[in-house]
Amino acid sequence: MDDRRGLARSAGLLIVAFVATLILLGGLAIGFAGRAPATPIPVAVESATPSPPIETGATSPSAAATTPSAEPPNLTPSPSGDPVLVGAGDIASCGLDGDEATAELIDGIAGTVFTAGDNAYEDGSDENYAQCYEPTWGRHKSRTKPTPGNHDYQTKDAAGYRNYFGAAALNEDGDTWYSFDLGTWHIVMLDSNCGAIGGCDANSREGTWLAADLAANQTTCTLAIWHHPRFSSGDEHGNDPRTDPFWRLLYAAGADVIVNGHDHDYERFKPQNPDGQEDRAKGIREFVAGTGGAALRGFNAPVANSELRVAVTPGVLELTLHPDGYEWNWIPTSGLVSDKGSGPCH
């Protein structure tokens, strides 16, 4: 009797092991059939204590991911009811899944979505937009205000970018820079691919447009978004002086916030002037938010006025635009680190 019971137990264990192996192999097959997993990301979190009166702190993410859909339901408005801008740069690649994770964050946030360039890798082609961007951030297309990056111009004249976003990405003259008002804020969307558009200096077509746009602005606060950051500690690109004319025009007009991408990391700066000097009275706060889903990179030694540097996870930058100031909330796709704070308009 004992021998028969032992044989039955052994047979049962063999059957359980066989079934478990089938389940494991089936799960692996399903996993490999989807989009390729993200490559390992570099771990880099560096912080400098901010100067008062800015309030900031590391917190866990405040926006829960929701089930993706063509028009995400149950969007959570800002507690104040003031308008929100949310987005990032350096977004969608078919070989990675970071863009799906960041799109899921945006699923739960009401407001206007922005892109800070390099929206569809590798070349910003029609195929890249259709196959890589559309399945993730594309579900927010109807509320998106985009800007182009250098990868978008790897397709001649950024044709894929123009075809995908259409009139939403252009001004009335068909140029790839434009502006709009959001609450009490004026939002300027610029093209920093200077070599492809005839330059970014004050006398260029874009420069003269920007000066006129800022002169006509009647709102209280101003924010500008483009791809290449004037100031950056990123180890791939760093400071880009080509966008210095943008900074000088915006500073002279009393602008408050600039958001860029290009370096695949998150970095926050103190308010500063175009010469890179801290300026609490009139300075512009710059954010680098190249964390939309592309493979992350690291940092060189921090440049002046850099307050926080993070390259551990993709994430999105949420900006709540109050009548006399703003709140920022960089939300990661994991709970490793986040960044919140506030600042006044000039």
267-319: pLDDT as tens digits: 999 999 999 999 999 999 999 999 999 999 999 999 999 999 999 999 999 99
CB 262 within 8 A of CB 60: no
What pLDDT does residue 81 have?
A: 87
CA-to-CA separations, 86 to 144, 289, 294, 327, in angstroms, rounded: 9, 11, 17, 12
Strands of 56-57's sheet, edge to edge? 56-57, 339-344, 325-332, 315-322, 84-88, 112-115, 144-145
DSSP run (H or E) holding 213: helix 205-216
Tell me, what DSSP letter sits at residue 71? S
The type of residue at 231 is: F
**Domain ranges across the chain:** 1-34, 42-344
Provide the β-strand partners of residue 92. 120
Question: What phi and psi values does residue 290 have, to the nearest 5 degrees?
Answer: -90, 45
Of 71 and 40, the structure prediction assigns the larger pLDDT to 71
Of 222 and 3, the structure prediction assigns the larger pLDDT to 222
Instruction: Tell me: pLDDT of 118 over 50.
Output: yes
Task: Find the mean pLDDT for residues 331-346.
Answer: 92
CB 303 within 8 A of CB 321: no
Q: Where are the beta strands (DSSP E) in 109-256?
A: 112-115, 144-145, 178-182, 185-189, 221-225
CB 294 within 8 A of CB 118: yes
214-271: pLDDT as tens digits: 999 999 999 999 999 999 999 878 789 999 999 999 999 999 999 999 999 999 999 9
Q: CATH: 3.60.110.10, 3.40.50.720, 3.60.21.10, 3.40.50.1100. Which one for 42-344?
A: 3.60.21.10
